[in-house]
Amino acid sequence: MNDTPRVAPKSPSEALKPVAPPAPPPKARRRRRSPFLSMLSGLFTVALVGAGVVGAGIAIVSNQSKAPGPLASDRVLIIPKENGLTEIAELLQREGLIEHPLSFRVAAIMGGDWHRLQAGEYLFKARVSPQEILGIISSGKVVEHSITVPEGLTSEQIVARLRDNELLTGEIAQVPKEGSILPDTYRFPRGFSRQAIIDRMARDQRVVLARIWERRPSDLPIKTPQELVVLASIVEKETGRADERPRVAGVFINRLNQKMRLQSDPTIVYGLVGGKGTLGRAIQRNEITQATPYNTYVINGLPPGPIANPGRAAMEAVVNHSRTKDLYFVADGSGGHAFAETLDQHNRNVGRWRQIETTRSQQQGGKPPADAVDKVEPPPAPDSRSEAPATMQPGSGAGLPVAQPAGAVAGTRARAFDASEGTPRDPLLDKTFDLNSPKLVPQLKP
* DSSP symbol at 193: B
pLDDT tens, position by position, 315-332: 999 999 999 999 999 988
% of the chain surpassing 90 pLDDT: 51
Angle at the Cα of 247 (from 404 to 212), degrees rounded to 5? Answer: 135
Q: Which sequence spans correspond to the domains of the chain?
A: 75-139, 144-210, 223-364
Distance of CA 122 to the CA centre of its chain: 18
Mean pLDDT in the chain? 79
User: CA 241: distance to chain centroid?
Assistant: 22
Pairwise pLDDT comparison (373 vs 140), residue with the higher score: 140
Q: Which residue has the higher pLDDT, 85 or 111?
A: 85
Q: Is the pLDDT of residue 64 over 80?
A: no
DSSP string covering 34-54? PHHHHHHHHHHHHHHHHHHHH
* Residue 419 pLDDT > 50: no
What pLDDT sits at residue 257?
Answer: 95
Specify the pLDDT at position 8: 67
Distance CA 208, CA 311 (A): 10
Band of pLDDT at residue 9, cut at 50, 70 and 90: low
Highest mean predicted confidence (pLDDT) among 2-6, 350-354, 366-370: 350-354
Q: Is the pLDDT of residue 392 over 70?
A: no
Domain range 75-139, its CATH number among 3.30.1490.480, 3.40.50.2300, 3.90.1170.50, 3.40.50.620: 3.30.1490.480
pTM score above 0.85: no
Residues 216-238 pLDDT 10s: 999 999 999 999 999 999 999 99
From residue 345, give the alpha-carbon distance in Å to each of 141, 330, 409, 424, 437. 59, 11, 17, 30, 17
Q: Indicate if the pLDDT at residue 396 is higher than 60.
A: no
pLDDT at site 424: 45
